[in-house]
Amino acid sequence: MVALSVAPTREESVLAADFEAQLKEEARSFLEPGEEILASIVAQPRGTSNSKVGGLAPQAIGSAWAKKSREGAEASGLTLTNPMALALSNKRLLVFGIEKSAMGKPKGVKELVSAVPIGEVESVSVKRLLVGKTLTVSANGYEAKLEVGAGQDAKGLAEQFERAKAAA
């Protein structure tokens, strides 16, 4: 079997970096004293993309995956939303509700939807797909899977998590 990968375009990487800086600034009002954002990505519950494509079978499969991801997240202490940003601070893993432009680009932070202390998160892992990635968060014995676009630095978030977890 041949594995194909599509590298993010320069534009996707620049947009992701720009929004990460914007999120760090806009999220300050939602953070605890002494807390700072270390990394963030724009994501959605796994299956969300499939649930929007044509055909009953892909929609049903995508909807089932998204439901399973939301249920796993809820059990772990996180609430997923769409559109959303997943951010890692030096204290917590946070889910922010975000606004998107008509073109689908992230344009601002609306609210803090949920958060879990780093000590309750067992792992954050990334798997590459043909286009984009799947990020799996394991917390409190449950798992939530997210879809992450090609331009997002999910691997960087996972690496930052490992450093923050070791320091906690």
pLDDT of residue 32: 96
Residue 5 lies in a domain: no
Is 150 part of any domain?
yes
pLDDT in tens, 89-131: 999 999 999 998 888 788 889 999 999 999 999 999 999 877 7
Q: Is residue 81 part of a domain?
A: yes
* Per-residue confidence band for 44, with pLDDT thresholds at 50, 70 and 90: confident
What pLDDT digit, counting tens, does each position of 1-36 carry?
434 334 444 444 444 568 888 999 999 999 999 999
Instruction: Tell me the C-alpha to C-alpha distance, in Å, between residue 70 and each of 50, 55, 94, 148.
Output: 15, 23, 15, 15
Q: What is the CATH number of the domain that holds 54?
A: 2.30.29.30
CA separation, residue 99 to residues 5, 37, 45, 107, 125 (Å): 29, 19, 16, 6, 26
Under DSSP, the state recorded for 32 is: P
Structure tokens at 75: 């059990």
Domain count, the chain: 1
- For residue 153, give its domain range: 10-167
- Residue 157 in domain: yes
Supply the pTM of this predicted model.
0.80
Task: Please report the pLDDT score of residue 2 as a whole number.
Answer: 39
Calpha distance 89→147 (Å, rounded):
20
- Asked whether residue 48 is assigned to any structural domain, the reply reads yes
| Structure confidence by residue, pLDDT tens digits, 124-162 | 999 987 778 999 999 999 999 999 988 899 999 999 999
- The answer to whether residue 28 is domain-embedded is yes
